[in-house]
Structures are given as C-alpha cells and as structure tokens.
Amino acid sequence: MADAAVLYTNAVLIDDYQQRHLGNFLLHSDGSWTKSNGDEDVVETIDGTRRLITRSFQNWHTHLPMQLNARDFSDGLPLDEWLEKSIFPTEMNLTPDITKVGTIAAALEMIKTGSTFACDMYHFPEAIANGLNEAGLRGFVCGPQTHWPPQDNDDGSVKRELDRLLSTNNPDNNVQYGVATHAVYTCGEDTLLSGKELAEKHDAMLHIHISETRKEVAECHDKTGMYPVEYLDSIDYFIPNKTNCAHGSWVKKSEMRTLAKHKAAVVHCPSSNMKLACGGTLSLPAYKEAGVNVRLGTDGPASNGSGLDMAHEARMACLVQRHDHWDAAALLAKDAFAMATNGSKDWAVWNLDDIRMTPYGRDNNRHISNLIYNGAGCLDLWVDGKPLMKDNEVITLDQTNVINNLNDAIEDYYSDIESY
Ligand SMILES: [Zn+2]
C-alpha cells in the first residue's frame, strides 16, 4: 500500500516507549510515525494544538454483541446464576441480524473511547466480523465450540460453519476468525479438544475463560482431581502462543508456570470480576514472576457493568491490583497504559482541552496518568492510515442509526422478558 501520511502540527505524541515528543508528526499508513521536516507530501494536515497522540487501546477479551444487554442486566446475580437464569435463556433469541446490531453498537463505543482491536468470543462470528469490518476496526472473532444454546444443534453445523470461516483467514485481513471454547464448566473434554484441533488446523487463536470463580475451580477439582489449568494441560489443550485465557483469577503459582510454559496469554478483566463478585483477583506480580504475558480486557458490557472503555478498565486494574496486594506500586498508570495498548499499530488522538486531562504537568508529563485515571475525550482514531473518527465525529458509522437500531433490536431480543 502506498504511504498516505497524515500530518499533525504542534501536537504531543507518546511513542511506543512512552517517550514524549512535541512538534509536527507524520502518522504513516503502515502504523509507523516520523517527525515532519515540513516538506513531505501528505494527504491531510491537522492542527494538533492541544491534542495528544497515543497508540490506541487493544481490548483482549470481549463479547461485543452483549452491548444488547443493559449494564445492570440481572444485576445482583453471581456468575453461575447470571449465566443460567439470565444470559443463556436470553441468547435463545439471538439471530445473526441482532448479533450484528449489537456488534456495531459495541464498535461505536470502542471508537468513541479509543480502541481499535477486540479479541471477541460469541455466537454468530460472521455477523460479528461483518460488524467490525463495517466499523473499520481490527479483531480476532472467536466462534463458539460449546454445549450451550442457541447454536448447538448437535449436528456439527456450528463447527462446519466455523471451519469454513476459519479457512477465509488471511494475514492481510484486519479481522481474523478464531475458536472459542467457553470454559471448562460449559465444555466437555471432547469439545475442548475438538476446538483446539480446529484452531490448530487453521493456525488460529484459541480463546477460553479460565478460573474465573472459586466455584468453577472447586467443581473442576471435584470432578477431575485437578484445577482448571492443570486439567487443560493434562488433556493437551494449549496451543503455544495462540491461547488467550480470560480472567485467570483463581490460579495457583504452579498453574501460572504451566501457562508460561505454553506461552498462553492471560487477560485481566477487573471490572467484570468485581461486578460479578468473583472474589479472587488475577495476581499481576505472580504472573509477572512466572513470565506470563498479561493483557487487559473489559469482558462483555453486561458482565462488567461499564462497557468497553479501556481507559476505565486500565484504571480499575490499577486500583484492584494495589488494593489486593497492599502495594501502591503494584500497577502504575504508565504500566497499565502499556498493557492496554500493547501491540497496537494504530493511533488515538485525545483532547487536551478536556478538563480531565489537566493539569498536564511540567513538560506535559502528566498526560498518561490523566488519561488512565480520569479518562478523556477521544477526537481522532486511525487504522491503517484511515480515520474511523475525526473531531469526535465517527466517520465509518452513522451514530444516530446505530443507537436507533440497537433500541429497535432490543424489542425483539427481549420480547419475552417483561422486566427489560
Ligand atoms: Zn468473558
């Protein structure tokens, strides 16, 4: 692709090493940046005065279509009851069209809050991929291999469809398909291994919830004599460098070493864990000591009660890590920012006139802390040199339509739930 650089003048840019730069910058379509000499051909020049350019957020655990669920959906229920009484019955009403409407609504929130990537797990993956592509976002869309409705007809059709989608994966696509095996408490050994084989066949991402609650861990131990990571290791579940494990809260140190051995990544989802009263907190210091790659994710909007705002999630990670470890340095804002943007090739541009971004400190040295602790208005968002949003106006989606479609879809989705 020919370079199509955009020039920001008089801006502040935070690079991949969190070094601050002041001046005129070219953002190239391959995701790189350079300082401007003032004589380059550019597709656009933007006044960057009072704007902060950073890498965009990367959300490593989502259920995007759950944007259809209200934030307080079945508020007050613990995870097992929340799933069995509320979420699974509601999901019987899902259709590809409703799934896409929910995905697009989630994409709108991602764009507005500076995220350009989601690693998702949900039903009807093609509808989700279509939604992300329309919005111009990146993603791993992991389709389910589980024993729960609405998709599982016991006729193998869900697996065949996912196999077909996985065969369309291409490194040039911004949205790739992967395989989701929901959890050890919803998937039997045959499902876990057939999901692993499918992911392996296509060299694709394998996505799972691991040790989210104490109950899940105790039940796994009762049934197998092993804790979840031990059990998954015993059946040879993990694919090196390709397994993305959400939560990982109730995990022993020996299990952390097992995850490290398989180069499995773990995704910290602090808001979700606290909203669903999971009790245990992913121990960041212990995971670091074991050498595990720890990422950050929001989980679904209904499970975390706070949507897809990664700056907010990074703040929650800072708070819960410190609180749980009695250590004010357990996770600093700059390190939470690094976790939340790790691997990003895209750019978010933040409004420094937002009161939440002040005071900005001598030599602009408070920007990252302000962004993580306070949040800020995202003005522009760039993927592959293309703007998804400029001046806080979303370009790839019609915001009014997205909101109207979401509210209309909910009429169908919750048609048999009076209290919604
Ligand atoms: Zn989840």
Q: Say how many Å lie between the CA of residue 160 and the centre of ligand 1.
A: 24
d(Cα 296, Cα 337) in Å, to the nearest integer?
Answer: 10
Whole-structure pTM value: 0.95
Q: Say how many Å lie between the CA of residue 209 and the centre of ligand 1.
A: 6
* 17-26, 75-84, 329-338: the lowest-pLDDT one: 75-84
Q: Where residue 272 sits, what CATH number does that domain have?
A: 3.20.20.140
pLDDT class for 273, splitting at 50, 70, 90?
confident
Residue 269 lies in a domain: yes
Q: Is the pLDDT of residue 140 over 90?
A: yes
129 shares its domain with 190: yes
* 117-131, 149-163, 266-280, 400-414: the lowest-pLDDT one: 149-163
Q: Say how many Å lie between the CA of residue 277 and the centre of ligand 1.
A: 14
Please compute the mean of the pLDDT values over residues 290-315 and round it to a whole number: 89
DSSP string, 89-114: HHHTT--HHHHHHHHHHHHHHHHHTT
Query: At residue 360, what is the residue type?
Result: Y
Q: Say how many Å lie between the CA of residue 51 and the centre of ligand 1.
A: 34
Give the model's pLDDT for residue 229: 98
The three-point CA angle 191-192-193 to 5° equals 90
Please compute the mean of the pLDDT values over residues 47-61 and round it to a whole number: 97
Q: Say how many Å lie between the CA of residue 108 and the centre of ligand 1.
A: 20
Q: Is the pLDDT of residue 285 over 90?
A: yes
Q: Say how many Å lie between the CA of residue 76 and the centre of ligand 1.
A: 17
Give the model's pLDDT for residue 393: 97
251 shares its domain with 352: no
Q: Say how many Å lie between the CA of residue 246 and the centre of ligand 1.
A: 7
Give the model's pLDDT for residue 173: 97
List residues bridging with 143 in a β-sheet: 179
**Domain termination site, one of 271, 306, 341:** 341
CA-wise closest residue to 56 among 123, 139, 133, 131: 139
DSSP string, 278-317: ------HHHHHHHT-EEEE----HHHHSSTT-HHHHHHHH
Residue 160 lies in a domain: yes
137 shares its domain with 233: yes
CA atoms within 13 A on the CB side of 287: 24
Query: Position of tokens 């990544």?
Result: 265
Give the model's pLDDT for residue 72: 67
Q: Say how many Å lie between the CA of residue 28 and the centre of ligand 1.
A: 34
Q: Is the pLDDT of residue 417 over 70?
A: no
Give the model's pLDDT for residue 82: 78
Q: Say how many Å lie between the CA of residue 299 and the centre of ligand 1.
A: 5
264 shares its domain with 118: yes
Residue 360 lies in a domain: yes
Q: Say how many Å lie between the CA of residue 383 and the centre of ligand 1.
A: 26
118 shares its domain with 157: yes
Residue 173 lies in a domain: yes
Q: What average pLDDT does the structure give for the chain? A: 92
Q: Say how many Å lie between the CA of residue 44 and the centre of ligand 1.
A: 40
CA-wise closest residue to 114 among 52, 32, 50: 52
Q: Say how many Å lie between the CA of residue 57 and the centre of ligand 1.
A: 18
Domain count, the chain: 2
Residue 407 lies in a domain: no
Residue 413 lies in a domain: no
* 11-15, 68-72, 108-112, 168-172: the lowest-pLDDT one: 68-72
219 shares its domain with 364: no
Q: Say how many Å lie between the CA of residue 66 and the centre of ligand 1.
A: 10
363 shares its domain with 387: yes
Strand, helix or coil at 389?
Answer: strand
**Domain termination site, one of 341, 356, 385:** 341
Q: Which residues contact 108 (CB under 8 A, 6 or more apart)?
A: 135, 394, 397, 399, 402, 403
28 shares its domain with 162: no
Please compute the mean of the pLDDT values over residues 95-105 and round it to a whole number: 95
Q: Say how many Å lie between the CA of residue 402 and the centre of ligand 1.
A: 24
248 shares its domain with 120: yes
Higher-scoring residue by pLDDT: 401, 87: 401
Q: Largest alpha-carbon pair distance within the chain? A: 69
Residue 411 lies in a domain: no
Supply the range of the domain harboring residue 167.
57-341
Give the model's pLDDT for residue 51: 97
Please compute the mean of the pLDDT values over residues 57-79 and round it to a whole number: 84
Q: Say how many Å lie between the CA of residue 169 and the centre of ligand 1.
A: 23
List residues bridging with 52 in a β-sheet: 12, 350
CA-wise closest residue to 350 among 381, 391, 378: 378
Q: Say how many Å lie between the CA of residue 391 and the centre of ligand 1.
A: 32
pLDDT tens digits, one per residue of 13-33: 999 999 999 999 999 999 999
241 shares its domain with 303: yes
Give the model's pLDDT for residue 155: 73
Strand, helix or coil at 374?
Answer: helix
Of the ranges 1-15, 155-169, 257-271, the best mean pLDDT one: 257-271
Q: Say how many Å lie between the CA of residue 182 and the centre of ligand 1.
A: 8
Residue 418 lies in a domain: no
Higher-scoring residue by pLDDT: 418, 394: 394
Q: Say how many Å lie between the CA of residue 223 and the centre of ligand 1.
A: 23
d(Cα 53, Cα 58) in Å, to the nearest integer?
Answer: 15
* 30-34, 108-112, 142-146, 353-357: the lowest-pLDDT one: 142-146
330 shares its domain with 391: no
Q: Say how many Å lie between the CA of residue 419 and the centre of ligand 1.
A: 24
269 shares its domain with 380: no
Q: Is the pLDDT of residue 419 over 70?
A: no
Q: Where residue 15 sits, what CATH number does that domain have?
A: 2.30.40.10
pLDDT above 70: percentage of residues in the chain: 95
**Domain termination site, one of 293, 312, 341:** 341
Q: Which residues contact 131 (CB under 8 A, 6 or more apart)?
A: 64, 99, 100, 103, 104, 106, 107
